[in-house]
Amino acid sequence: MNHTERTPEPRGRFLDLGAHQQPRRGSADPYVARLDTPPAGGTPPAGGTPLMSMRRPPRPTTPSTTPVSPAHSGTPPPRIGAIQSESMPASRRSSLLPPGLDSRRSSLTKKSLTDLVQDARKGIKSVTDTSMKAGQKNPFAYVKDKTVSVSGHMKDATVGASQWVASQTSKTAKAAMEQAKSGLSIGEKLTLFTVEKISTFSRKGFTHVFMFLILAGYTALGALLFIALEAPHENEEKQDIEAERTRLVEALWEHHVQNQGLNASRWEGMIYGLLRPYDEQLYHSWSVGISPDTEDRVWTFWKAMFFCSTITTTIGYGHISPRTNAGKALTIVYAILGIPIFLILMADFGKLFTRLLKSLFVFVRKLYRTATCRRVRKTRAVQSVKPPSTPSPTPPLAVPESTSTDFEKHEDDDQGQLREREPFLSEERRRNERRKEDKGEEDEGGDDVREKTTGGACCCSSWKRKVSEWCSSLCRRKKAPEPPTPESEEEEDLVIDDNFNLPITLALLILLLYIMCGCFIYTMWENWTYFEAFYFIFISMTTIGFGDYVPKHPAFMMMTTVYLVFGLALTAMCINIIQEKLTDTFRHASVKLKESFGYIMAAASQGEEAALPEGKEVEIAEVHGSQKAKAGANADTVTVKKET
Amino acid sequence: MTLPSFNRMVNNLGGPVRKSTSCCKTFAKILLSHLGLFILVGVYAAVGACLYLTLERSEEEKRRFEKQLISLDISDSKKYIVNYVWFLNTQNLTKADYHLQVMKTLRIFHDFVVKTSSDPNINYDGHVDSWEYDWTFPKSLLFTVTSMAVIGYGHIAPKTYKGRIFTIFYNVVGIPLLLVFLANIGDFFAKSFKYIYSRVCCRWCRLRRRIAEARKGATLLEKRTLWKDSVGYETYMSTAKVEVPIAVNLSVISAYLMMGGAVFSAWEGWDLLTAVYFTLITLTTIGFGDLVPGNSFLDLEDGFMAAVKMAVTVLFCLFGMALLSMCITLMQEQLVNRTRWLLTQLGILEEDIDPMEKYKYKKTKLGTVMETRTERDGNERLQLTNVEEGESTARRPPTVVSISQEVM
């Protein structure tokens, strides 16, 4: 509709653009694709087609004009476009055109570029569609992912946008390659498919899985090295004891043979003298941690693994430690390399767990609102529910932001899982943007819960209701719910946005639960009481690691390692969540502080004698509070920064 | 005091309320300042040490008694062996038999010693009466500080339930407190270190560039004014943006380690490698506890020097950790960037960099174009020196030529 209004005009411009501009590499030029994408109906424009097809290198499978697929023609047209075409004066409309040499006189605005990018996107989408039709399973997931990240920066990235367009062009070329592959045999397709799957998996799970493997490999390597360095020393020590013992016996025999007729007391003194070195040797080996008689050795593989993990986690129980100088030097190097690896892994796992917990939390909430496990569309359809007053007065200069939201909207329909991933990668800016909407949504959600519970919907059993109450209390909705907005019965309008702060209590509860589970397990494994197990876990999780309690069995040692790695990751998750929360409170506090300061300053300027004492006092008290809050938040954020 | 009377007082005095706010503010400021935090940590550690003493000392007396019993047992068994050998002497045995018998008893003796002395609660050392007290004040102080710093040597650990419960609560508070302190100090260090680095090292580069850029007819006076650049507002390699190289950071850390090694090898009688090993194990908070400082301040009766040594040891650990956190702060971004670069080069990580971050732009006569490497950091004079590095050029509308150039 808006396109129909716009497209006829640029024809001429494109013609002379074609004259000046060399054809870019890759068949599907976004600009051209934009031209090709016809108005909603899908009818190609009457004029200009021959010239376009002449400029374009021939495509193997698709027709020369790629029509917008029915699915996409069904999607609502971009809002900005509509606004622009309606509200823009005709003189400015020329700036909406793709760049030509002659458009230099009317300077290219940001808006026109973003518009351009948008159109380019449409072109890519059409290509994607055709390739999907050709049997590919959406090869462009990552392209879209990237698009969102770019769109966030659209505000100041005029040049970046053009850069982006260039990169997209090459992407589109790749798409053409994909299409060319569509004529392959089934086996080849299958291998291609698997290769693609593996590569995407490795891209997604690289940090999580491979980092863990790297750490495990590093630990195993360290264990082998330490065994190589320390085991000979241990053997030597054992042999020393054995030698000392035989020496003692020999000496005793000598005495026995030589001095038969000695009196008992003198003999005793001599024996004591002989026993002393043996005793000392025993004491020494014991202090080194070697028990010579029993067969269990200190530097077996599993124990060495445990030792290495105590280095990297910086727990350092100290029940095993290197004795040789080489071992000590190796420990230094090993710690310097290993600790950063472990820290990175922890940060990564912390984020992963936060993400998992969030999705779980969302799922549970969803379960209560809808009482079903069906997927709920994760769009921001609130805008459609809300009165349409918001979009219309958008001034033309504020377009770029809304453009980014439009991009998201496009993706929501077919990129469910990507969207699910996306919010956690999103920047602070977007979170800020959304906060207001979040509140609104949560209120609506609350209404929904209420409706369900009061209505006594058949699916909801009582325990579910209880937990839902708990959930909603966790959400801490402060505001009383507004009068319910007219909602349609369809589930599609139930909106769940997972871009929110998890309640700290939930995270701490999970951590506590984890520790309690650990306590239970350790009381079974070792001869510890429940409290001793808790003490052990606390000392380990804080990485203090006194080493007065250490699991004895090597298998349990390894299990302890795994348990602690995940425990530390959970701790990192908690810290993550608390950090987010604190950053929030800090921001609020600073805003509040600013407001109250402003008030005070105003009061001061009005004149102190005129100001009301009562109001003044209240204001000052508030300043105190916020000051303290600020200080506290500040300190804590510092802490968290260090910890993470 | 009731509220109205307070109000009246406020009315009468007018001023004091504001004064009290400033008091509160200054108090908070002092508390959060470096010195205030330091004093807070010190007081917390000292109070904790005293409490541990009261909690654990009685238990330790018990353990001392136990240890005496065990030592007596062991010496008894030693006597038994002597008597046994005497008994064997009276028997007429061949050498092989004699060996066998003695070996058997010795093994039994050995097992007995290992079993009884392996109880960690009693520090068996082969003597009956000697007992090294775990919970003297200096040791207890070292314990509180090391447990707050999550080093946890473990050569001393609470043995009673009360002590353990107290440990949990004490550390729940203490660990964040010390972390705040370390982060605070580390931040301060980082700032001052950066400042010093910028003033000392980058100043020279800056000056060279300025002189190179100066007009040929510049007077000596004009050249001399180049020295007076205000901190943080330098156009080239400004203090706010300068990055301390990784190599410098690493050398600072290793210098500190070596210093620790020298100090501890002198005081504790370790060899240099062991002392360096100890320093690293301490500063990374691994804390095996196989080596523990304390020979130099076992008992405070030694006098003033022992106390000084203890204080220096504790402070050395704390400041070392702060220094480590500083260096990590300074290196973090560079390390992340390098790792990403490496991963990209290896093809593991897909290049996912925002174009604006990747390229810097500069303006030429034709329009905005990408900056080349030499232009970005070389000494070549820029066309547009008044554009700050990293400043967005978006507000200047680029011409079409530049775009088509970039697309090419």
pLDDT tens for residues B202-214? 777 777 777 777 6
Q: Which chain B residue's Cα is nearest to A542?
A: B150
Tell me whether B350 touches chain A (CB under 8 Å). yes
Chain B residue numbers with beta carbons less than 8 Å from the beta carbon of A627 are 24-25, 28
Handedness of CA A85, A89, A90, A94 (dihedral sign): negative
Chain A CB within 8 Å of residue B348 CB: yes
Q: What is the ipTM of this complex?
A: 0.73
pLDDT of residue B331: 84
Interface test with B, best of A14, A103, A117, A159 (most B CBs within 10 A): A159
Q: Which of B403, B406, B408 to mutate to test the interface with A (most CBs of A within 10 A)?
A: B403
By the CB < 8 Å criterion, does B187 face chain A? yes
Q: Do B17 and A617 touch (CB under 8 A)?
A: yes
Nearest to A153 among B153, B356, B359 (CB): B356
Q: Tell me which residues of chain B, numbers 79 to 108, contact chain A at a CB-CB cutoff of 8 Å.
A: 81-82, 85-86, 88-89, 95, 98-99, 102-103, 106-107
**CA B382, B388, B390, B394: dihedral to nearest 10 degrees?**
-90
> B176 touching A, CB under 8 A?
yes
* Closest chain A residue to the Cα of B369, Cα to Cα: A159
Nearest CA in chain B to A609: B14
| Beta strands in A23-124, from DSSP E residues, in sequence order | none
Q: How many CB atoms lie within 10 A of CB B130?
A: 12
Provide the b/e sequence for A246-270 (b: ≥16 CB within 10 Å).
Answer: eebbebbbebbeeeeeeeeeebbee
Angle separating helix axes B246-268 and B304-346, nearest 10 degrees: 150
B35 in A contact zone (CB under 8 Å): no
B341 touches chain A (CB under 8 A): no
Average pLDDT over residues B23-50: 84
Q: How far does the CA of residue A392 sit from the closest CA of chain B (Å)?
A: 26
Q: What is the pLDDT of residue B275?
A: 93
Q: Taking residues B123-142, what's their average pLDDT?
A: 79
Residue B49, classified by CB atoms within 10 Å of its CB into exposed (0-12), middle (13-18) or buried (19+), is: buried
pLDDT at res. B252: 92
Q: Do A293 and B111 touch (CB under 8 A)?
A: yes
Residue A139: Cβ within 10 Å count: 20
For the stretch B307-326, pLDDT in tens is 788 888 888 988 999 998 88
Q: How far apart are CA A591 and CA A596, in angstroms?
A: 9
Query: What are the tokens at A314?
Result: 């910086």
pLDDT tens for B239-292 read 777 788 889 998 999 999 999 999 999 888 889 999 999 999 999 889 888 888
Which residues of B, range 205-234, sit inside 8 Å of A by Cβ? none
Radius of gyration of chain A measured on its C-alpha atoms:
36
Query: Cβ contacts (< 8 Å) between B187 and chain A: which residues?
Result: 638
Q: Which residues of A463-484 are buried (b: 16+ CB within 10 A; e: fewer)?
A: ebbeebeebbebbeeeeeeeee
- Residue ranges, chain A, pLDDT below 70: 1-171, 173-174, 176-184, 201-207, 259-262, 287-296, 371-501, 606-644
Could you tell me if B273 and B287 are in contact, meaning their C-beta atoms sit under 8 angstroms apart? no
Residues A546, B134: contact at Cβ < 8 Å?
no
Q: How far is CA A256 from the centre of its chain?
A: 77
* pLDDT 10s digits, B211-227: 777 666 656 655 555 55
The verdict on a CB contact (< 8 Å) between B286 and A315 is yes
**The residue to which tokens 């710093």 are assigned:** B149
pLDDT of residue A469: 59
**In sequence order, what are the residues at sequence separation of 6 or more whose Cβ sits closer than 8 angstroms to the Cβ of residue B299?**
B136, B306
Min Cα–Cα distance to chain B from A273, Å: 11
* Nearest-Cα residue of chain A relative to residue B271: A325
User: Is A408:A418 a contact under the CB 8 Å cutoff?
Assistant: no
B126 interface with A at CB cutoff 8 Å: yes
Half-sphere exposure of A594 (CA within 13 A, CB side): 6
Furthest CA-CA distance within chain B: 114
Contact across the interface for B354 and A160, Cβ inside 8 Å? yes
Neighbours of B192 (CB within 10 A): 11
pLDDT band at B190 (very low <50, low <70, confident <90, very high): confident
Rounded Cα distance between B369 and B7, Å, is: 66
pLDDT tens digits for B60-70? 888 888 888 88
Q: What is the DSSP letter of A27?
A: S
- B173–chain A Cβ distance below 8 A for any pair: no
pLDDT in tens, B354-401: 444 445 555 555 555 555 555 554 444 444 444 444 444 444 444 444
Portion 13-32 of B in contact with A at CB < 8 A: 14, 17-18, 21, 24-25, 28, 31-32
B184 touches chain A (CB under 8 A): yes
Using CA of residue B359, residue B362, residue B367, residue B370, what is the dihedral sign? negative
Q: A278 contacts in B (CB within 8 Å)?
A: 106
**Cβ pair B288:A317 closer than 8 A:** yes
Of the candidates B82, B287, B400, which has its C-beta nearest A101's C-beta? Answer: B400
User: Which residues in chain B touch residue A108, judged by CB atoms under 8 angstroms apart?
Assistant: 397-400, 403
Answer whether A422's CB lies under 8 Å from A410's CB: no
CB neighbourhood size of B299 (10 A): 11
Q: What is the pLDDT of residue A425?
A: 39
Q: Look up the pTM and report it.
A: 0.60
Rounded Cα–Cα distance for residues B226 and B218 (Å):
11
